[in-house]
Amino acid sequence: MDKAKLYTLRWSAMQIARLSADPKVDALALSQIDILSQLLEEPVPEEFRPPEPPRPSLHPEMVVSEKKRYPVGEKKLWYPEAVIRTDIKRAAQGEYPKAYPYGAIVHFTAGQYSKGIENAVSAIASSPYFFCCISTDGKFVQANPLNQWGYHAGESAWTIAGEKRNGVSNFLVGIEITNPGRLEVHNGKYYTYWDTNHKQPIDAKKVRVIEQNTDNILAGAYLPYSKEQEATLIEFLLWAKANNPSVFDFDYVLGHDEAAGPKGIGRWRKNDPGGALSMTMTAFRQLLKDEYKKRYG
């Protein structure tokens, strides 16, 4: 059959597909368009192509959990959803200037992460530093009240309340998230930094690869935070703002890689959260502002 006849048959099928209101007739016409396009060695006309399935994204939408709305201005010092473990609290260096953090630093523990809350408790108990911790299953562990501060950000810098601060631990609460940290690549496979013998590769399907430096994110391979971790992180920060809205400011919710990176101290000293978080910190701050406005006006 010559091409002219094939074009005529395809045109007829296209007209049927356009005009028919019967799903069965539509399906038959679309099938004919597909077959005739193959015979013509041409793509199916765009109008009649099936919709492209959703593509996997390196930066999926964050999961914002149940829309909780806490009372505004209560100024509590313990997160209502936290697992409270005062038995592992650290000696405080002092109180925040306004007896409450101005914002937060998002970290990853760069340590064990497979045992849920056990690893979160262990991270606080075994560390000389001072922070809250979120387990892989989304449990928020708090050991000290939110008026107390301790070291967690190390060498860092940011402009807070109009003044350049060299060291932000005494202004921003540290939130560690159980996660192995930036991964190492060996022979095309991904490993935690402590797997020096390369015996336990991480499933490549679970790895997020950032090809080039993007905002606060240093290029490299990361194991993403779990959906539960990100949901808990969002909920805690929304509560922290509502709990003391005159002090806590989403503009001071920073990545460790911001305050201890090129934006803060002028070089990469730290790379967390990097690509472990499913978006840049700039986008994350905007998400918090938008969600807070939805809930609290």
Q: Please give the Cα distance from 215 to 297 (Å, whole number).
A: 29
CB atoms closer than 10 angstroms to residue 12: 14
- Give residue 17's pLDDT: 84
CATH 3.40.80.10 domain residues, the chain: 83-296
Specify the 3-state DSSP secondary structure of 88: helix
- Give residue 1's pLDDT: 63
Confidence of residue 120 (pLDDT cuts 50, 70, 90): very high
Closest CA to 61 of 295, 290, 297, 293: 290
Q: Are 218 and 274 in contact (CB under 8 A)?
A: yes
Distance of CA 250 to the CA centre of its chain: 16
Q: Are 83 and 142 in contact (CB under 8 A)?
A: yes
CA dihedral 145, 146, 150, 153 (to 10 degrees): 140
Q: Which residue has the higher pLDDT, 139 or 22?
A: 139
Whether pLDDT at 215 is above 80: yes
Closest CA to 140 of 86, 100, 87, 81: 81
Lowest mean pLDDT among 18-32, 201-215, 260-274: 18-32
pLDDT above 90: percentage of residues in the chain: 76
pLDDT above 70: percentage of residues in the chain: 94
- Give residue 56's pLDDT: 41
Q: What is the mean pLDDT of residues 32-55?
A: 74
- Give residue 150's pLDDT: 97
Q: At what angle do helices 227-243 and 281-296 cross, to 10 degrees?
A: 60
Q: What is the mean pLDDT of residues 114-135?
A: 97
| Fold classification of 83-296 (topology level) | Lysozyme-like (3.40.80)
Q: What is the pLDDT of residues 219-238, one digit of tens each?
A: 999 999 999 999 999 999 99
- Give residue 12's pLDDT: 87
The per-residue DSSP string of 166-217 comes to E--TTTEEEEEE----EEEEETTEEE-TT-TT--SPBPGGG-EEE-S-BTTB
- Give residue 65's pLDDT: 53
